[in-house]
Amino acid sequence: MKHISKLLLIFIAISLAACSAASQPAAFEPGSTLLVSGGEIKKSYSRADLEALPASQADFLDVTYRGVVLSVLLQDAGFDPQQVKAVKAVANDGFTVNYDPAQFLRPDFLVAYAQANGELTDKDGLFRIVLPGAEGKQNVRMLVEVQVIQ
């Protein structure tokens, strides 16, 4: 029986070692564009591109942000938001958050490129998600990609 205990311990140790080695975040190059991708579609947006789309405002933690409603961005990229099953936001450190339709179809779900009274902070990066009322980790900062899952 003690052999089983040892084997279990060894298995867990190896698993955790492998996990810690593997879980180094896959860093993305902090480019100046936001990639919207899914299936055949891949479209990059600069800040100027986003500013050319209809702007909206939303609040998170007492800060008002300016950006594009995600469903508007998806439509512009060539997706039908009603047909999308999920959206994944990817940060430049590899952190990801998945959103279901009840979230990403909200009219106050923004891809923000500025604060209402100024620029985004260094912590925010060039783009960030703003989802009012949701917990902090769902408001992804340093956003580099929006993956669309249909």
What residues make contact with other proteins under the rule CB under 8 A? 1, 4-5, 8-9, 11-12, 15-16, 18-19, 21-23, 25, 85-86, 88, 94, 96, 98-102, 135, 137, 149
Q: Contact, 143 vs 90, CB < 8 A?
A: yes
Q: Contact, 112 vs 130, CB < 8 A?
A: yes
**CA gap 139, 110 in Å, rounded:** 10
Q: Indicate the helix (H) or strand (E) that contains 112.
A: strand 110-115
Of 21 and 48, nearer to other proteins (C-beta) is 21
Q: Both tokens of residue 14?
A: 């190896």
- Provide the minimum distance between the beta carbon of 101 and other proteins in the complex, in angstroms, as a whole number: 7
- Provide the minimum distance between the beta carbon of 33 and other proteins in the complex, in angstroms, as a whole number: 23
- Provide the minimum distance between the beta carbon of 145 and other proteins in the complex, in angstroms, as a whole number: 13
Picking from 76, 80, 98, 78, the residue whose alpha carbon sits closest to that of residue 89 is 98
- Provide the minimum distance between the beta carbon of 62 and other proteins in the complex, in angstroms, as a whole number: 17
- Provide the minimum distance between the beta carbon of 100 and other proteins in the complex, in angstroms, as a whole number: 4
The Cβ-side half-sphere exposure at 109, using a 13 Å CA radius, reads 20
Q: Is 109 helix (H, G, I), strand (E, B) or coil?
A: coil
CB atoms within 10 A of CB 130: 26
Of 46 and 132, nearer to other proteins (C-beta) is 132
Of 2 and 29, nearer to other proteins (C-beta) is 2
Of 3 and 118, nearer to other proteins (C-beta) is 3
Of 76 and 108, nearer to other proteins (C-beta) is 108
